[in-house]
A and B are shown apart, each in its own frame.
Chain A
């Protein structure tokens, strides 16, 4: 029996095609995932992301705890509301999950981890937290709605009280505030501007409906996946997992080897950095007709690799992918699609940002 968010009946009433995602009954689309994708790129769309796991971490040891738990440095978080994207690693340097950490005060941080990894994440975090005396409070009482697109912030701000509007309107990127009983973060997973908003379950349906009346288009997990891949953002379980380090998953930018911080997995990352990372994540574009998909074989000058995330990009009108391939210059790269080897271009991603193809794509 899959779990459902507080918005489940709302999705069904909108005619959503529902699908199991990490044990949750979630909307795949409300008719056309491509139209939903374009709505986010061109105007404003919203996603129910209440299946994600919000956990409040409290205690005097919470900052030292997070300095150990995650590979990015929470020492970067000095202003209340500031957010940080990071991975938490096992002792072998493998990625247990990726997450966002919000700093609220010295005894209170909030994290958001994935839905499908909830059980293992909670077990791992709870075990690691013991010596630091940090308590975990999972916030199943909160729903979460991501409003994304060039008009997303304006559409949300129009629904807020003057005080909340002033606070949310002043947020820089990757920062959050509270207002009108909402936790409003200027974050997202689409490559567009917008907010991710935590809203009490009791008022989530009403808030969703007000957004819809305000011109925000409901969008499902299908569009969320094409948007995030265009934006060059990793998906846990597909682009990285416990068998790869952040260096092998294109996430070196999220690793901080700062002095005096002994985070879990650090020794392995340092050894890998010194010895050379054996595999790399690259972005691919297929200019021919066809669709790059997870599991397809990738042939490079350095040996074989495989497609991790691959899809048709509605913004570009052609297929794009992440692939993990052997380190070194990949040379002329081909992908095996049903026995035919098609040439692909290795590109620097993101593929799309703020509604437009990036240079070189």
Chain B
């Protein structure tokens, strides 16, 4: 299992959120989640300009095995999507916390970040799921 970066926040459903210097929030799925899904073959991205609600599905990642919804960790407007995943969805398998980001949101309510898990709490969640 790869290390969980300290600057991320997590949803229980295994999405990560990273607050960037410009205030945008970049979103992906955790390394644990990509491992559960296996080889990814297709990512259905949101559209730039979409308005998303925290906790609502706004993207889909599909592996050979299964399709899985990706939930928005915070509400706001989608301002960037990782179009490179169209040709190389396996980037999520290779670098879930970096090049494998899925979309970026301009948040409408930063307080929602407080509802997310910090890396230690997420690591504890993974431990409890394994037992």
A contact residues, total (Cβ < 8 Å): 16
A125 at the A/B interface (Cβ < 8 Å)?
A: no
B48 at the A/B interface (Cβ < 8 Å)?
A: no
Q: Which B residues touch A17, using CB under 8 A?
A: 38
Q: Which A residues touch B62, using CB under 8 A?
A: 290-291, 312
Q: Say yes or no: B39 contacts A291, CB within 8 Å.
A: no
B41 at the A/B interface (Cβ < 8 Å)?
A: yes
Interface range on chain B: under 10, 10 to 19, 20 to 34, or 35 or more? 10 to 19
Q: Which B residues touch A311, using CB under 8 A?
A: 64
Knowing A226-B64, A293-B67 are in contact, say whether A29-B42 is a contact too (CB < 8 A): no
In the complex, A312→B63 CA distance in Å?
8
B54 at the A/B interface (Cβ < 8 Å)?
A: no
Q: Which B residues touch A29, using CB under 8 A?
A: 38
B102-116 interface code vs A (CB 8 A; 1 in, 0 out):
000000000000000
**Interface of chain B residues 47 through 87 with chain A (CB within 8 A):** 60, 62, 64-65, 67, 86
Q: How far is the CB of A282 from chain B (nearest CB, A)?
A: 22
In the complex, A293→B44 CA distance in Å?
15
Q: Say yes or no: A312 contacts B38, CB within 8 Å.
A: no
- The one of B39, B41, B60, B93 in contact with A338, judged by C-beta atoms closer than 8 angstroms, is B60
Nearest to B39 among chain A residues (CB) is A34
Nearest to A17 among chain B residues (CB) is B38
Q: Say yes or no: A312 contacts B86, CB within 8 Å.
A: no
In the complex, A334→B39 CA distance in Å?
26
Most buried by A among B39, B42, B67: B39
B17-56 interface code vs A (CB 8 A; 1 in, 0 out):
0000000000000000000001101101000000000000
A32-71 interface code vs B (CB 8 A; 1 in, 0 out):
1110000000000000000000000000000000000000
Q: Which B residues touch A293, using CB under 8 A?
A: 67
In the complex, A290→B42 CA distance in Å?
6
Q: Which A residues touch B60, using CB under 8 A?
A: 338
Knowing A226-B64, A293-B67, A312-B64 are in contact, say whether A32-B39 is a contact too (CB < 8 A): yes
- The one of B39, B42, B67, B93 in contact with A289, judged by C-beta atoms closer than 8 angstroms, is B42
- The one of A33, A289, A290 in contact with B64, judged by C-beta atoms closer than 8 angstroms, is A33
Which residues in A have some Cβ–Cβ distance to B below 8 Å?
Answer: 17, 28-29, 32-34, 222, 226, 289-291, 293, 311-312, 314, 338
Additional A-B contacts beyond A29-B38, A34-B64, A291-B42 (8; CB < 8 A): A17-B38, A32-B39, A32-B93, A222-B65, A291-B64, A293-B67, A312-B64, A314-B64
* Interface CB pairs A-B, < 8 A, 28: A17-B38, A28-B38, A32-B38, A32-B39, A32-B93, A33-B38, A33-B39, A33-B65, A34-B39, A222-B64, A226-B64, A289-B42, A289-B44, A289-B86, A290-B42, A290-B44, A291-B42, A291-B62, A291-B64, A293-B67, A311-B64, A312-B41, A312-B42, A312-B62, A312-B64, A314-B64, A338-B60, A338-B67
